Every structure is written in C-alpha cells, then in structure tokens.
Structure 1
Amino acid sequence: MATRSLSGSAPLASAVRPPCGGREPVSTRWAPGLESMVPPTPHTTWLQDFLLNPHAADIVGYLRAARSVGGPVLDLGSGAGRLTVPFAHHGFRVEAVDRDPAALTRLGEWAARGGRRTRRAVTTSCTALELLRLNGEYRFVMLAGAMIAALAPGSRAALLTEVAAHLRPGGTLALDFTAHRHTGLAEEPYRHWTFRVPRFDGVDETAFAEQIFDLSTMREELLLRSEQFGPQGVLRQEFRSGKWIVDPDELCGDLRRAGLRVTSRDSRPLDARTDSVFLLCERRPRS
C-alpha cells in the first residue's frame, strides 16, 4: 500500500477493551455514516462542514478509547479527516486511508491549517478498503462513521483479517455501526429527519435526509437534500448514495473468523427501531 506523508517525511513504518453479543427524528449529536457517504465537492461542502465538527460526540468517544492504548493510529475510510485531524492535533501519529483522492487532499489542507505538528503527524494512503494491504503495525485502528456499512458483507471478513494481522499486541480495533430491528424496518422501511447546518456567513441552511431500507437485498438508500437561503437567493442541492444494512450477528461472526474478539459494546438508541453500536475489539489469544 503506497503512502504519502503530508510533511514530506517518510511514511509511517509502523502506525498505530473487556461482548458481541422513521418518523422519529434521529439525533444529530452523533450522525454516523453520513460523512462517509458524501464526497467532498464544492456542492457538498455544506454537509462536510457540519460533519467535520471537531467536538462531535463520536470523535470524543474514539479519542477516549485511543488514549487507553496509544498510537500509532490507522483511520480506515478517513474521508476528509474528520477523525484523523483531531487525533493528530491531540498528539497521535495517524495513517489515513481513503479511496477518494479529493477527500485526502482536503484532509491535508485541514491538517496544514492545524500547524506543523499536526501536519507532520499525518500520513495518507489512497486505496479502496476492499484492496487494502497494510505494511505497518498499529495500536489503534478505527472504522468510524459506520464505515463498516460501506463494505459489502462478503468483503468484511477479509478486511478485518488484514487489520487483525497488523494489530500490535494489546492493540484495539474500534468501529461503530447502526443496528436496526428488522421487524421495524419491514413494517416501516422509510424514515427521514431534518437538521440545521451551523453557519456564520449570513446563510440560513437546512438539511433533509431520507432513508429507504430493503431487507431483501440488505441495502439502505440515502437521499440528502440541502436548502440554502441567503443574499444571493435560494440554492437547493441533492445527493444520493447507498450502503449495506449491518447484521450484528453476521458482523460478530466476521470478527471471530478474523481472529478478533469484542471486549466492549456500547449501544445507544437513535430512535425506537435503531441503535448506534460502538465496539472495541482485540486479537484473540492464540491457543
């Protein structure tokens, strides 16, 4: 896997815990998955800026977990650096992996604005997670923003096996995903929510998200719309994408086959049918 250091120095040679168990608005304190669905283009900056909030609850949760094991850190599906840059700012060496070169360019620009120390702590690798081949070893690996849902079920085990092979003893894999109750999705496979985008440039902006779930294919389709009202008039934007519905039991099976075990599971309700699940995993002891 080719890597690039933002500071011009050599790539990181080595880088980067106690079970697996609508109609209602979804909380936007932790908006898992959305930032991984939206490419950082001029037309989607409104959503990226909202999701790159460095004080979001999930960033704090990942930082807390990382501090218990230390770095180096591997950020898989980093996007524009929503977690990479805050981690680097807090003193971690981070290797950020994403398939989108434009997202990594924006990550580098954001890291540079954080100063020399932050910029030098970050290395980027442009590759698809399905094709990932790691060279270093890591103390903390994260699949944040429900990134595991961007992977087809058949490709998850291979990625998790690759991660486990490069996780240092005592290291942690952290990931989050949304766990849906299938009975609820079958009864009402559509949901939506609305949130205001924080802006300070005289523009009033509201974002709308719609989800459609198909249990026959285990797919989730996502529609994001934005309405901006400002001095220049009204601007409306729209983006469509999709990801996979994660079956918690299947995911736990993939973790076991990869040689990993869940050491901590934190589940918090997003609405009456959906929980946001945060897992910490470590390598299983060899028998």
Structure 2
Amino acid sequence: MFSYLYHAHHSLDNEDLAFWLDLAAQQPGPVLELGCGTGRVLVPLARAGYRMVGLDRDPEMLALLSARLPAELYRSVLLFQADFTRFHLACTFSLILLPCNTYSTLSALDRQAVLACAQAHLSGDGVFGISLPNPDWLRSLPARSEAEVEEVFPHPLDGEPVQVSSAWQRTRSRLRQEFILDWHYDHLKPDGSVERLSVRSRHDLTPAVDYLEEIRSAGFERVQSFGGFDYQAFTPDSPEWIILAS
C-alpha cells in the first residue's frame, strides 16, 4: 500500500528531472539509478532514450514500477532487487544516480559501502550524482516544527483525498546528530474516518565538509557541489545539495 501513496505523493515533485536529464546528455552510455523506487526519475530518463538500470531493495516499489512501465520501454530498462550498499552487476556505467535525498539517510558505514560500489561500477570517466538536503542548513533550523499540511492528492486506489502533513525534529546522541522527518498520510474516508500511515526518515547531520571528505577518501578525484538544480553555487544557506563525483 505504501508504494502507491509514495508514488502519488512524490510524482508531484519534478523539479530535479531537468537536471538529471541534462547530466545524462553529457554522459553517453547506460545509466544506473540506485534506490529507483517507483521510477519517478528512471521512467522520464528512459523515455528520453537512455538505457536505464534501476536497483532497489523494496519488492513492492519495484512491482509498482514494473506495472506502470510503458511497453515501449521494456527493452531499455532493467530492474534489480538488491541493497545498493552491496551489489555487483557485470557492467559499468557512465552515470550513476542516487537522487531523492536518500544518501543522507545512510549511516557513515553504509555511505562508504555505496561509494565503493559506485566506484566499482563507474566507467573511467563516469559520474556519480547525488542529491541530499544540506546538513549545514538543516542544523540552522529550529529544533522542532509543528505538523504542517503539505499536499492533498486523490488516493490512487479509491480516489478519496489523502492529506499529507510533515513535522521534523533534531536529535543528538553520542554517535550522531540527526534530522528526523515524519510524514503522515491521512486517508480521508467518506464516512468521516481517517486512516493514517506514518513514515519516518532520519538524515545524518554530519557537516558538509565531512561528507565531502568521505567522498574524496573513497577515491573520487573531482567533486562538484551545487546548491540547487539550476546549478547555482552551494553555500551553507542552500537547502538543497547536489554532488557530482568522478
């Protein structure tokens, strides 16, 4: 069930697609997307003519992606169920993507693992593209927020409204500081009842400079940072952070 809500919610957010399409145009060859989910990024790139490989560990997400994949794209898309911190494919890619703010939800050890996997699967001049919220900016926000309605969309199965709200809090433990984001999906039924599904993501607030050092230590020699999907300069006040490593 969550895969349907996830797709209906996040398919409304397309501000990054032009950036990934432009990046793919600069990197001839097949593209690997890590954590491809229901295909919000993968399908538009495949429609644009790029050979796509999608990898995700969630079988429900992959099943929905397979079901919604247009027949004309079957030959240009391969899907694998696997953990993107430990995978092996018998090919290399000119472009590997980890979009959708997934990278900062990983532990430091898992980030090292996914960087090693990306290195092993990139062609000689290939690029690893990552997007994540700027941890320095997140640390500047208030310690917590009240729940706030963000979107309302029709439920993909019955058409009844789904109200999406979110709230965040920052926490600190002995091991790390985190930004915890809670999404609440309220399915509003005709009889007045509400069916709630809540999803939590945790973003590691390791300083940006340390994230960059991790990437360089993994063997990436050229690392570019942008503060948004229109290539603007990255600053401590940028809410978004896009990293291109090669």
Q: Which residue of 2 aligns with 1:102?
A: 60
Aligned to 1:255: 215
Match of 1:208 among 165, 168, 172: 165
TM-score (norm 1): 0.72
Aligned residue in 2 for 1:147: 102
Shift, 1:241, TM fit = 2.2
Residue 35 of structure 2 contacts residue 84 of structure 2 at CA under 8 Å; is this kept in 1?
A: yes
1:111-160 Cα offsets, whole Å, 9 max, x none, are 1xx222x1221111111122222321001100011111232112212321
Could you tell me which residue of structure 2 aligns to residue 172 of structure 1?
A: 127
Indicate yes or no: 2:193 matched with 1:237.
Answer: no
Distance 2:40 2:205 in 1: 22
Which residue in 2 is equivalent to 1:18? none
Q: How many residues align?
A: 233
Q: After superposition, give the CA deviation of every residue in 1:184-233 in whole Å (9 maximum; x if it has no partner).
A: 25xx3213542223439763432101122213332333322123445453
CA RMSD of aligned residues (A): 2.6
* CA shift for structure 1 position 274: 6.0
- In 1, are the aligned partners of 2:181 and 2:201 still within 8 Å (CA)? yes
Q: Choose from 124, 129, 143 the match for 1:189.
A: 143
Task: Give the Å deviation of 1:44.
Answer: 5.7
Contact 2:227–2:238 under 8 Å retained in 1: no
2:139–2:205: 8 Å Cα contact kept in structure 1?
no
- 2:111 is equivalent to residue 156 of structure 1: yes
Q: Is the 8 A contact 2:154 2:162 kept in 1?
A: yes
TM-score if structure 2 supplies the norm length?
0.83
Instruction: Between the two structures, name the one with larger relative contact order (CA 8 Å, sep ≥ 6).
Output: 1
5+ residue gaps in structure 2? none
Q: Is the 8 A contact 2:162 2:186 kept in 1?
A: yes
Does the 8 Å contact 2:57/2:84 carry over to 1? Answer: yes
Cα 1:139–1:193 shift into 2, 3 Å: farther
Corresponding position of 1:279: 243
User: In the alignment, is the contact (CA less than 8 A) between 1:180 and 1:273 conserved in 2?
Assistant: no
Q: Distance in 2 between matches of 1:159 and 1:246?
A: 18
In the alignment, the residues of structure 2 paired with residue 150 and residue 132 of structure 1 have an alpha-carbon distance, to the nearest angstrom, of 18
Change (3 A) 1:264 1:274: closer
Q: Which residue of 1 aligns with 2:184?
A: 225
Single out whichever of 118-127 and 213-222 deviates more from structure 2: 213-222
Change in Cα spacing, 1:279 to 1:233, as seen in structure 2 (3 Å) is same
Q: Identity of aligned pairs, percent?
A: 20
Tell me how far apart the structure 1 counterparts of residues 159 and 33 of structure 2 sit (CA, whole Å): 34
Is the alpha carbon distance of 1:274 and 1:228 closer, same or farther for their aligned partners in structure 2, counting shifts above 3 Å? farther
Structure 1 residue 56 corresponds to structure 2 residue 14: yes
Q: List gaps (5 residues or longer) in structure 1.
A: 1-41, 283-287
Map Cα deviations across residues 60-82 of structure 1 (whole Å, 9 max, x no partner).
Answer: 21111111112300000111112
